[in-house]
Amino acid sequence: MSTAMVLQPPPTLPAPHAAYDPAPSSDEDDLYSRLKSLQRQIEFIEIQEEYVKDEHKNLKRELLRAQEEVKRIQSVPLVIGQFMEMVDQSNGIVGSTTGSNYYVRILSTINREQLKPSASVALHRHSKRARRCAATRGRFQYFASQPVGEA
């Protein structure tokens, strides 16, 4: 009598190329495309951040310039001079203590009766072109000025 033995088939090993799947599953494809999308978003946000920083720096510079201009405009006129003559109803010539003659615009609120030759006037030292008068204070009339000949 012969006996037969039933052997279990040997376990099958995966093929060596099965570990590398050349066609990724849709889950892996979705993850990769999401990664690339997020990387593009990060790059875009970094560019925006750099732009905002540059713009902030430029605006700070502009603010400082504007503050300097406000200080300059609000500063007290320091050049004292003598009113010489009226050119027309709104302009006159003033000789300053620095030796220059200035063609000035006279604000309509200034009393023209006080503007007689040799009347003391104060000019804003930073003005480079004719502007309206800044104010009337005490005995002095304040003018923005422009040197004669530069009009």
**Same domain (yes/no): 51, 68:** yes
Residues 61 and 88 in one domain: no
Tell me: the pLDDT tens digits for 85-107?
Answer: 888 888 888 887 778 888 887 76
**Which of 19, 48, 74 is at the close of a domain?**
74
Q: What is the pLDDT of residues 104-126, one digit of tens each?
A: 877 676 777 878 888 887 776 65
- What SS3 class is residue 27? helix
Q: Are residues 55 and 83 in the same domain?
A: no
| Residue 8 falls inside a structural domain | no
Are 136 and 109 members of one domain? Answer: yes
- Domain CATH number, residue 102: 2.40.50.140
Give the residue from 74, 93, 109 where a domain finishes: 74
State which of 74, 102, 132 marks the end of a domain.
74
* Residue 16 in domain: no
Residue type, 7: L
Nearest 5°: the CA angle 115, 118, 119 is: 45
Q: Provide the number of structural domains found in the chain.
A: 2
Its domain, for residue 90, covers: 79-147
What is the DSSP track for 66-118? Answer: HHHHHHHHHSPP-EEEEEEEESSSSEEEEEETTS-EEEEE--TTS-GGG--TT
What is residue 136's three-state secondary structure? strand
Helix, strand or coil for residue 148? Answer: coil
pTM of the model: 0.38
Q: Output the pLDDT for position 14.
A: 58
